[in-house]
Amino acid sequence: MVSMAAKKQMSESTQLPDQVADSLDIAASLDLASPVWAQLRDLLRDHLGETAYRRWIEPVKGSVDLNAKGDSVLSVSAPTRFMRDWIEAHYGDVVRMLWRKLVKTGDVDFIVASPLLKPIATVQESIAMSDKSPVAAALPQQKAASFPSLVTSMPQGSPSEEAALDPRFTFENFVVGKPNELAYAAARRVADTEAPTFNPLFLYGGSGLGKTHLMHAIAWQIRRNFPNRRVIYMSAEKFMYQFVRALRYKDTVSFKDQFRSVDVLMIDDVQFIGGKDTTQEEFFHTFNALVDRNRQVIVSADKSPQDLDRVEERLRSRLGWGLVADLHPANYELRLGILHAKAEKLGCAMPDKVIEFLGHKITSNVRELEGALNRIVAHSQLVGRTISLEMTQEVLADVLRSTERRITIDEIQKKVAEHYNIRVSDMHSARRARAVARPRQVAMYLAKQLTPRSLPEIGRKFGGRDHTTVIHAVKKIEELSAYDNTFREDVDLLRRLLQG
Ligand code: ADP
Ligand code: MG
Per-residue confidence band for 71, with pLDDT thresholds at 50, 70 and 90: confident
Cβ proximity of 392 and 357 under 8 Å: yes
- Asked if pLDDT for residue 424 goes beyond 80, the answer is yes
Residue closest by Cα to atom 5 of ligand 1: 210
Mean per-residue pLDDT over the chain, rounded = 81
Per-residue confidence band for 113, with pLDDT thresholds at 50, 70 and 90: confident
Q: Considering only 103-117, 195-209, 372-386, which range has the smallest mean pLDDT?
A: 103-117
pLDDT per position as a tens digit, 311-361: 999 999 999 999 999 999 999 999 999 999 999 998 888 999 999 999 988
| Interatomic CA distance for residues 145 and 277, integer angstroms | 37
Ligand 1 contacts CB of residue 235 (under 6 A): no
Number of H helices, E strands in the chain: 23, 10
Looking at per-residue confidence, does 373 or 75 come out higher? 373
Give distance in angstroms: CA of 208 to centre of ligand 2.
7
Ligand 1 contacts CB of residue 280 (under 6 A): no
Which atom of ligand 1 sits closest to the CA of residue 209? 3
| Interatomic CA distance for residues 88 and 20, integer angstroms | 27
| Interatomic CA distance for residues 315 and 336, integer angstroms | 38
Per-residue confidence band for 46, with pLDDT thresholds at 50, 70 and 90: confident
Ligand 1 contacts CB of residue 208 (under 6 A): yes
Which atom of ligand 1 sits closest to the CA of residue 207? 4
Ligand 1 contacts CB of residue 370 (under 6 A): yes
Ligand 1 contacts CB of residue 180 (under 6 A): yes
Residue closest by Cα to atom 13 of ligand 1: 367
Please name each of the domains of the chain with its CATH number. Answer: 32-112 (3.30.300.180), 123-327 (3.40.50.300), 332-405 (1.10.8.60), 409-499 (1.10.1750.10)
**Percent of all residues in the chain with a pLDDT value above 70, rounded to a whole number:** 81
What's the rounded mean pLDDT across residues 366-395?
A: 93
| Interatomic CA distance for residues 319 and 284, integer angstroms | 9
What's the rounded mean pLDDT across residues 380-405?
A: 87
Q: Which helix (H) or strand (E) covers residue 19, if one does?
A: helix 18-23
What is residue 279's predicted lDDT score, i.e. its pLDDT? 94
**327 pairs with which residues across the strands?**
205
**Percent of all residues in the chain with a pLDDT value above 90, rounded to a whole number:** 53
- Asked if pLDDT for residue 160 goes beyond 70, the answer is no
Which atom of ligand 1 sits closest to the CA of residue 334? 23
Give distance in angstroms: CA of 212 to centre of ligand 2.
4
- Asked if pLDDT for residue 55 goes beyond 90, the answer is no
Helix axes of 211-225 and 181-192: crossing angle, nearest 10 degrees: 20
Give distance in angstroms: CA of 213 to centre of ligand 1.
5
Sign of CA dihedral 348, 183, 125, 6: negative
- Asked if pLDDT for residue 188 goes beyond 80, the answer is yes
What is residue 114's predicted lDDT score, i.e. its pLDDT? 53
What is residue 70's predicted lDDT score, i.e. its pLDDT? 66
Give distance in angstroms: CA of 398 to centre of ligand 1.
22
What is residue 198's predicted lDDT score, i.e. its pLDDT? 92
Instruction: Supply the DSSP string of 412-436, one letter for each residue.
Output: HHHHHHHHHT--GGGGTS----HHH
Q: Is 178 helix (H, G, I), strand (E, B) or coil?
A: helix
Ligand 1 contacts CB of residue 216 (under 6 A): no
Ligand 1 contacts CB of residue 331 (under 6 A): no
Of the residues 209, 220, 234, 344, which should be mutated to test ligand 1's pocket, given the most ligand atoms within 8 Å of the CB?
A: 209
Looking at per-residue confidence, does 294 or 129 come out higher? 294
